[in-house]
């Protein structure tokens, strides 16, 4: 009886803790999201800062140079995507012609299936045009203000990253002084190991995305898809959201191939090529590049994506998977928390 009461007390404490943490994360989204992204950036660029310091560069300058590397890298990627979009813009007249041909073809099929003539379809579309224009105008305003807010958050993120790199020892000593571990030596060892594993994992993910971008570009180019580089970058970058991002990214080149190509085998070929690259990424790239640093089972990964979307929206879908990975590393290294690490992992003896 007493053991049952103790077990129920533990379960209740765990549920209350999960509820409170989730509520605080949801309410603190504007503050916590840039903080979490900056923490990942800091862990990713920590070795760069450390190498610069070894060459007698002062820590503030080394941290600032690391932040500049982030800005330059994102700037190059943004400029490349912008240049590709400008090329798409120059092809808009031809693309519009193709879209009209496809729309007329779909209207004829719709007429055959529903007996609604093309003129009647035009009238229905004309009736909906004011609502569509109003929605487009509202969407444009939302995009404008969201872009301004995103730019502000980007500068805040860079500032957070700089200070994380600058005060990294103070952050580590703070975590040690919380007395979550048996001794200071154990705390320093675990935090150092977690930071190293997280850095290797994030670096591995970036390598996988870079390789996939090259593979996608070569594949789309060989199939004959215009603007192959743009679609390769979009498809590879969206892969940062596990499972969902890959399928969302490939929808763009498939739709583009369907709208611009006369033959149906073009989008089917893009889909087939994507399935092959999925196998390549799942069985070769991810196991050998990201290695066995962080292994979450698919159930936990999907739950992390959905929970991240529920609490933080789209940023949560990206951040919660590596966050769960970091938690698993902590759980595996702390004996009392190893059962939680076991349930998150995908060990062969499961």
pLDDT on residue 111:
59
SS3 annotation, 256-273: HHHHHCCCCHHHHHHHHH
CB 243 within 8 A of CB 305: yes
Give pTM, 2 decimals.
0.74
Q: At what angle do helices 29-54 and 314-333 cross, to 10 degrees?
A: 60
The CA-atom distances, in angstroms, between 52 and each of 49, 63, 88, 162, 214 are: 5, 9, 41, 14, 30
Q: What is the mean predicted confidence (pLDDT) over 130-146?
A: 60
Q: How far apart are CA 115 and CA 257, in angstroms?
A: 29
Q: Tens digit of pLDDT for each residue in 229-246? A: 888 998 888 888 776 777
Q: What are φ and ψ of residue 190, in 5° steps?
A: -65, -45
Cα 345 from chain centroid (whole Å): 20
pLDDT at 327 over 80: yes
The CA-atom distances, in angstroms, between 137 and each of 130, 132, 134, 143, 246 are: 11, 9, 5, 10, 30
pLDDT at 197 over 80: no
Lowest mean pLDDT among 109-113, 184-188, 221-225, 228-232: 109-113
CB 48 within 8 A of CB 168: no
pLDDT at 202 over 50: yes
Taking all residues of the chain, what is their mean pLDDT, rounded to a whole number?
Answer: 78
Per-residue confidence at 216, pLDDT binned at 50, 70, 90?
Answer: very high
Closest among 28, 64, 23 to 315, alpha carbons compared: 28
pLDDT at 132 over 60: no
Q: Tens digit of pLDDT for each residue in 145-186? A: 666 777 888 898 999 999 999 998 888 788 777 776 667 777
**DSSP-assigned states of every residue in 198-248:** HHHHHHHHHHHHHHHHHHHHHHHHHHT-TTHHHHHHHHHHGGGSTTHHHHH
Per-residue confidence at 293, pLDDT binned at 50, 70, 90?
Answer: low
CB 161 within 8 A of CB 253: no
The CA-atom distances, in angstroms, between 193 and each of 163, 187, 292, 294 are: 21, 10, 14, 12
Per-residue confidence at 140, pLDDT binned at 50, 70, 90?
Answer: low
Domain boundaries, given as residue ranges, for the chain: 194-292, 294-350
pLDDT at 289 over 80: no
Percent of the chain with pLDDT over 90: 9
The count of other CB atoms within 10 Å of the CB of residue 84 is: 18
Better-predicted residue by pLDDT, 87 or 51: 51
Give helix then strand counts, H and E, for the chain. Answer: 13, 0
pLDDT at 130 over 70: no
pLDDT on residue 19:
84
pLDDT at 68 over 90: yes
Q: How far apart are CA 217 and CA 211, in angstroms?
A: 10
Closest among 164, 178, 238, 249 to 208, alpha carbons compared: 238
Looking from the CA of 15 toward its CB, the CA atoms found within 13 Å total 6
The count of other CB atoms within 10 Å of the CB of residue 121 is: 16
User: How long is the chain?
Assistant: 350
């Amino acid at each position: 009886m007493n053991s049952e009461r103790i077990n129920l007390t533990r379960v209740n404490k765990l549920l209350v803790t999960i509820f409170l943490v989730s509520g605080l994360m949801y309410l603190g989204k504007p503050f916590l999201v840039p903080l979490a992204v900056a923490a990942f950036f800091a862990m990713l660029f920590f070795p760069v800062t450390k190498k610069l310091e070894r060459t007698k560069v002062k820590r503030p300058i080394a941290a600032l140079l690391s932040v500049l590397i982030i800005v330059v890298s994102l700037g190059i990627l943004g400029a490349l995507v912008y240049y590709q979009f400008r090329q798409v813009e120059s092809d808009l007249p031809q693309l519009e012609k193709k879209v009209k041909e496809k729309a007329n073809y779909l209207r004829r099929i719709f007429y055959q299936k529903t007996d609604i003539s093309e003129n009647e379809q035009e009238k229905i579309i004309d009736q909906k045009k004011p609502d569509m224009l109003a929605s487009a105008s509202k969407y444009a305003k939302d995009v404008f203000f969201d872009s301004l807010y995103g730019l502000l958050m980007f500068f805040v993120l860079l500032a957070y990253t700089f200070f994380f790199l600058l005060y990294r020892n103070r952050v580590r000593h703070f975590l040690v002084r919380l007395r979550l571990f048996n001794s200071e030596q154990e705390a320093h060892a675990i935090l150092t190991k977690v930071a190293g594993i997280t850095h290797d994992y994030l670096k591995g993910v970036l390598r996988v995305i870079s390789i996939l971008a090259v593979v996608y570009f070569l594949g789309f180019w060989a199939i004959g898809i215009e603007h192959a580089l743009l679609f390769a970058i979009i498809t590879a970058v969206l892969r940062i959201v596990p499972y969902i991002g890959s399928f969302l990214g490939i929808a763009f080149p498939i739709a583009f191939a369907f709208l611009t190509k006369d033959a149906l085998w073009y989008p089917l070929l893009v889909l087939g090529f994507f399935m092959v690259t999925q196998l390549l990424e799942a069985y070769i790239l991810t196991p050998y590049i990201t290695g066995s640093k962080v292994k979450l089972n698919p159930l936990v990964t999907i739950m992390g994506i959905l929970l991240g979307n529920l609490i933080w929206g789209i940023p949560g879908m990206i951040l919660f998977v590596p966050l769960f990975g970091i938690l698993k590393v902590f759980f595996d290294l702390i004996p009392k928390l190893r059962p939680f690490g076991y349930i998150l992992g995908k060990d062969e003896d499961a």
